[in-house]
Amino acid sequence: MKGKKNTRSDRWVTAGGGTLHRVRSIANKELLHIVRDGRTFFMVFIAPAFTLVMLSYLFSWDIERFALGVFDGDRSSLSRQYVAALTEDGTITLQEDVASKDRADELLATDRVQGVLVVPPGLMEQVNEGQAGEIQIILDGTNPGLAAQMLAHIRGRTERFAAALSALPEEALAQLAPIDTRTRVWYNPNLKVLDSMVPGLIAVVMCMPAFSIATSLAREKELGTMEGLYATPVGGGDLLVGKLTAYLSCGLASVVPVVMVATLWFGVPFRGSFVLFLLLTADFLLGIMCLSLFLANFLSSQQAAMVLMFLVLFIPSMFLSGLIDPVDRTSIGAQLQANFLPTTHYIAICRGIFLKGVGIGALWRPALMLATTGMAYLVLTIKLFKKKLR
């Protein structure tokens, strides 16, 4: 065989006529390898840009937009001017004109807004009489960094609005009385970072079982044990569902010590239903494990599976899922990236159950998204895997 290869190589060199032909042949071979091998193609063409995006998100901490609900009980020209002053530059956007306290609770519980501004009745009358008007700001404390930044923006705009009143005619000088903002933070009154980060990080650490199931499937191929299964009556669907059942059960058991560490070691409050949390955790594990099986279906080594899981699941889960900064609702690309990740939906579930104590009525959207995508990935993986078994 060695002599045969040497003969062929010598024939190529002779036909090519020298060094230039050899260089061209090697270059063509390497290009074909890069294009045909999916792992090499990913590492050469996609991974650098992908990693750059991840690191850019790592060092980008500023929040550009906040969603605000407004409960205007005064309905005066002064209150309308004040709301317009808050939202004039687009940083704070008026998500909804809230009509009731129950609606404000619903918006905060479902993450539709990051805060609710309450303008009490008689604000303009108080200001005209030279009294200090009081305005309440209700913030979602599940993300302390976001709440602190939003509070700073509202206070700054309130101070500028009060200062601008001095430019009015003399008959309006009575309105120069300061507007006092009264702040109330829900769910995390002390704005403790750990109370927000620990429930969110649960979604990241619970990716580990998904790493394991991906490397398990890749190991079957790498060691050749998959070939033995080809000769048995076990179908591709049987194999995948069996693996999924085992790893999902183990992953569900592993969440119990995770919750104990969060509540007993870090002191994070757990205000919701533990049974509901287990059910939605199983929903999350279904979604992320089916995605892992889908990706591992195209890989043939454990090392490649680990690298791909790290780049596709772990890093984006840290920086694109809303763990640190909220998902940019104005960017379609950012929303598509976030919705692709099961951790995005599980972070909302963890923070909602731990800190807000909400039920399935507030969490059915992320739960449905996880179940739907999980089943879609499972069906797609089984179909692709069946083709390989033939």
**What pLDDT digit, counting tens, does each position of 374-383 carry?**
999 988 988 8
d(CA 321, CA 28) in angstroms, rounded, equals 40
Average pLDDT of the segment spanning 364-376: 92
**What pLDDT digit, counting tens, does each position of 29-41 carry?**
556 755 676 655 7
pLDDT at position 343: 92
Which one is predicted more confidently, 173 or 181? 181
pLDDT at position 250: 81
pLDDT at position 287: 92
Report how far apart, in Å, the C-alpha atoms of 376 and of each of 157, 205, 290, 291 are.
47, 24, 8, 9
- Quick one: what percent of the chain has pLDDT higher than 70? 73
Maximum average pLDDT range among 213-217, 258-262, 271-275, 302-306: 271-275
Assign 186 a pLDDT band (cuts: 50, 70, 90).
confident
pLDDT at position 216: 79
Tell me: pLDDT of 71 over 60. yes
Q: Does residue 188 contact residue 142 with C-beta atoms inside 8 Å?
A: yes
Tell me: pLDDT of 13 over 70. no
Average pLDDT of the segment spanning 2-26: 51
d(CA 239, CA 385) in angstroms, rounded, equals 10
User: Quick one: tokens of 134?
Assistant: 């009081």
Tell me: pLDDT of 314 over 80. yes
Assign 278 a pLDDT band (cuts: 50, 70, 90).
very high
Average pLDDT of the segment spanning 77-88: 87
Average pLDDT of the segment spanning 73-99: 86
Average pLDDT of the segment spanning 160-189: 61
pLDDT at position 349: 94
On average, the pLDDT of the chain sits at 77
Tell me: pLDDT of 99 over 80. yes
Tell me: pLDDT of 298 over 50. yes
Tell me: pLDDT of 362 over 50. yes
Domains present along the chain, CATH in parentheses: 66-186 (3.40.1710.10), 193-389 (no CATH)
Strands 133-140 and 179-186, by their bridges, are parallel
d(CA 307, CA 314) in angstroms, rounded, equals 10
Lowest mean pLDDT among 68-72, 164-168, 364-368: 164-168
Tell me: pLDDT of 9 over 50. no
Report how far apart, in Å, the C-alpha atoms of 22 and of each of 4, 30, 207 are.
18, 12, 47
The per-residue DSSP string of 230-246 comes to HTSS--HHHHHHHHHHH
pTM over 0.75: no
Maximum average pLDDT range among 8-12, 13-17, 33-37: 33-37
